Structure 1
Amino acid sequence: MAKCRLRFLFCRLAFGFLSGVGNKLSSNRYNYLFDLLTGKSAYTNSAGNSDWAREQLVSAFLKSKEAEYSAMYAMGMAGGIGWGNKSTGKNKVKSVANMDEFFKMKFGKSISNSLSKTKVKYDGQSIYRVEKKTNNQYLKKGYGVYLDGLHKDHLEVIDKTGYVKYVLNLNGTLNPDKTKKALGRVVKDWK
């Protein structure tokens, strides 16, 4: 099961590396690193080489995602991202005390029936599993979502493998700056 999840994750990473904006890794280099990571390389396989290969793959993935988000932001394709994060005037970021308070907000109400609370916690916050399709493009079935434990002014979305995918403002829009900082973070207990 773990090998299957690992291969799925790295196939997704390969697609991100080999296509689109920010292509930072050639096909040959990706294959070399993937084989080192999975222990199928003709070269010396060791835990150290595997760790190094994982770091190289994740680093290239993060660079490609950074370029992708920057391009989307520059082209205005990510409508509503970035705005509303100023701490002055009418755009002041609203924070909530907990998820119950969030579920009373407009966006919270719209997704509350699609989420179920799990026993898994991250940073002291309960993680909610997306059980049904939502109207939000960033919340897919099987993903997890939790309130940021420090600021309590945004939601962090994790994929089915526990990796942070997106950071959303409390109104459901993507927050690219916080997403960029959160990429690579993992919730280890998430399944």
Structure 2
Amino acid sequence: MPDDLHESALSAHGPVAGVDEAGRGPLAGPVVAAAVIFDPARLPAGLDDSKRLTQARREALAAALVAQAETGIGIASVEEIDRLNILQASHLAMCRALAALPRPPAHALIDGNLVPKECPCLATAVIGGDARSVSIAAASIIAKVTRDRIMRDLAQHFPGYGWETNMGYPSKSHRSALQTLGVTPHHRRSFAPVRNILYQAHLPSA
């Protein structure tokens, strides 16, 4: 279970924000990042890596976090993903999440092994951070819940791809729908399964 040891070690210098993203692997939709600053006396019970929680538990914790902590959301669009690549777009979303916090943190704990080059404050990369740091775990929950809501909304406008359940990830049904229904404006053209379909569509017919 995640704890607050990383945050406690840095808190003497000012607010510490945990940062994580959701949506690096999907074929469709934006990448969403969240940043969270906790009041140490108001930690919601049951915080964990978002991937270990049920949807209902994530939704409940996200609501509690928004009410009890300082939060910021950052989004990088499909166009930015295709232009920059997914890693750089994820880092852009993280920087936007930090900038969206009600107050600037003194230090950020970033999930992963790299710190965004444009990070607006001092930062430390924490490998497996969503399972080790409470603030990163909280950020992972908010990022996941926010992105899932975006994908469920997009699914209403682009039915048939199953985004309301696969959230844009390359499930068998999503790949099949790409073949039969084609590529939407919300698909990542730089990702091979989408790029290959676009390539095939431009091949001259026999």
Scaled to the shorter chain, the TM-score interval is: under 0.3
| TM-score of the superposed pair, with normalisation by structure 1 | 0.28
| TM-score of the superposed pair, with normalisation by structure 2 | 0.27
Return the structure number with greater relative CO, CA threshold 8 A, min gap 6: 2
Which structure features the higher share of helix residues?
Answer: 2
